[in-house]
């Protein structure tokens, strides 16, 4: 069967799940809607999304519950029933397994952390050698203020009339990589893009390349305030970042319950991230606020 036909079937199942989260949803009935056997459906769903059906439904229900805890004054039992749980006990147990805290603690904390949003079909286009990731799931995370030590420079971004970020950003990372002995081998590399308007550089953004943790020598330092972010997973070579961010801005954000805001965008890399590897993984964090 052509890939697009498989994805169309999965998309129909996803639409059904999203519209009936507060009802009982059984794998057998979803398989019937997909025209596959139960075993075939579970296999195709897992290959397309990277999740089991039960895991996906549970995470969406609990994310909806977490949002209601923060945006409403509803009682926990009412939220549990609205999100498809039959008791407050089962709801609290599942909630703690996902968020590592009770619903009460989450509400008192007052921060969106670990929220999963519905999977969305993104694209069939891939970079050479990259594995197809047909669906993308955005997370919503609050991140506390932190300090980064590193190097910085001005860049023209992708929406500039003279973009140069493809050349400038690697140059900045090479500069700090030469001094990498000052950081622990497991220090996490983070890129920061300051998207605030700067009158002295009206057509540019300031890019920071650095590592979390204090180095042994003196680096420039930037303080990033606490902020709420949409987290975009990016699989493959570094060139996939621009494609993922473009999809997010043009497709995901307008249809979401959030607005993009100026602030500090983050590129969060694994300590052993290889920009040339099709097996690499990083996350792009964009500042947002609820509508």
**Domains of the chain by residue range:** 9-110, 142-290
* pLDDT at residue 265 in the model: 97
* pLDDT at residue 177 in the model: 65
* pLDDT at residue 111 in the model: 96
* pLDDT at residue 133 in the model: 58
Percentage with pLDDT > 90 across the chain: 50
Supply the DSSP symbol for 181.
Answer: G
CA distance 228 to 91: 25
CA distance 101 to 93: 10
Average confidence score pLDDT of the chain? 87
* pLDDT at residue 217 in the model: 62
* Beta strands 189-194; 264-269: pairing state: antiparallel
CA distance 208 to 196: 14
Tell me the three-class secondary structure of 13-81, residue by residue.
HHHHHHHCCCCCCCHHHHHHHHCCCHHHHHHHHHHHHCCCHHHHHHHHHHHHHHHHHHHCCCCHHHHHH
β-bridge partners, 147? 223
Task: Give yes or no for residue 3 having a pLDDT over 50.
Answer: no
Distances (CA, A) of 254 to 250, 258, 284: 7, 8, 18
* pLDDT at residue 248 in the model: 93
Q: 129: pLDDT confidence band, cut at 50, 70 and 90?
A: very low
Supply the DSSP symbol for 248.
Answer: I
Contact between 152 and 173 under an 8 Å Cβ cutoff? The reply is no
Q: Which residues contact 25 (CB under 8 A, 6 or more apart)?
A: 17, 57, 84
Q: 174: pLDDT confidence band, cut at 50, 70 and 90?
A: confident
The alpha-helical segments, DSSP class H, found in the chain are 3-19, 27-34, 38-49, 53-71, 76-82, 88-99, 103-109, 165-177, 240-247, 253-255
| CA angle at 149 for the pair 148 and 153, rounded to the nearest 5° | 95
CATH class of this structure's domain 142-290: alpha beta
Q: 188: pLDDT confidence band, cut at 50, 70 and 90?
A: confident
Average pLDDT rounded to a whole number, residues 244-266: 93
CA distance 117 to 137: 6
Domain 9-110 fold is Arc Repressor Mutant, subunit A (1.10.10)
Contact between 91 and 79 under an 8 Å Cβ cutoff? The reply is yes
Q: 242: pLDDT confidence band, cut at 50, 70 and 90?
A: confident
- The CA-to-CA distance between both ends of the chain, in Å, stands at 41
Task: Give yes or no for residue 93 having a pLDDT over 90.
Answer: yes
Q: 233: pLDDT confidence band, cut at 50, 70 and 90?
A: very high
* pLDDT at residue 218 in the model: 65
* pLDDT at residue 47 in the model: 84
Q: Same CATH fold, 142-290 and 9-110?
A: no
Residue entry with tokens 């057998």:
28
Task: Give yes or no for residue 131 having a pLDDT over 90.
Answer: no
Give the range among 42-56, 60-74, 180-194 with minimum mean pLDDT. Answer: 180-194
| Cα 41 → chain centroid | 26
Instruction: Kindly state the helix (H) or strand (E) to which residue 136 belongs, with its residue range.
Output: strand 135-136
SS3 174: helix
pTM exceeds cut of 0.85: yes
CA distance 5 to 25: 23
């Amino acid at each position: 069967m052509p890939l697009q036909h498989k994805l169309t079937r999965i998309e129909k199942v996803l639409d059904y799940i999203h519209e009936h989260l507060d009802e009982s949803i059984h794998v057998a009935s979803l398989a019937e809607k997909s025209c596959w056997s139960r075993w075939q459906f579970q296999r195709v769903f897992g290959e397309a999304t990277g999740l089991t059906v039960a895991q996906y439904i549970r995470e969406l229900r609990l994310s909806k519950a977490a949002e209601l805890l923060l945006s409403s004054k509803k009682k926990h039992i009412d939220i549990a029933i609205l999100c498809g749980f039959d008791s407050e006990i089962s709801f609290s147990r599942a909630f703690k397994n996902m968020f590592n805290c009770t619903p009460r603690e989450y509400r008192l904390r007052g921060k969106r952390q670990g929220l999963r949003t519905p999977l969305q079909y993104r694209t069939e286009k891939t970079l050479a050698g990259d594995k197809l990731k047909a669906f993308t799931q955005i997370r919503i995370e609050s991140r506390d203020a932190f300090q980064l030590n590193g190097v910085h420079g001005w860049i023209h971004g992708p929406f500039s009339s003279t973009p140069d970020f493809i050349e400038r950003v690697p140059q900045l990372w090479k500069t700090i990589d030469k001094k990498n002995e000052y950081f622990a081998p497991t220090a996490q590399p983070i890129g920061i893009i300051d998207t605030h308007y700067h009158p002295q550089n009206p057509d540019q953004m300031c890019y920071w390349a650095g590592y979390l943790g204090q180095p042994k020598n003196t680096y420039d330092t930037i303080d990033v305030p606490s902020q709420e972010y949409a987290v975009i997973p990016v699989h493959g070579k570094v060139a996939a970042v621009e494609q993922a961010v473009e999809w997010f801005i043009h497709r995901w954000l307008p249809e979401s319950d959030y607005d993009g805001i100026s602030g500090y965008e983050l590129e969060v890399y694994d300590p052993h991230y290889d920009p040339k590897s099709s097996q690499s993984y990083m996350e792009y964090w964009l500042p947002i606020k609820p509508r």
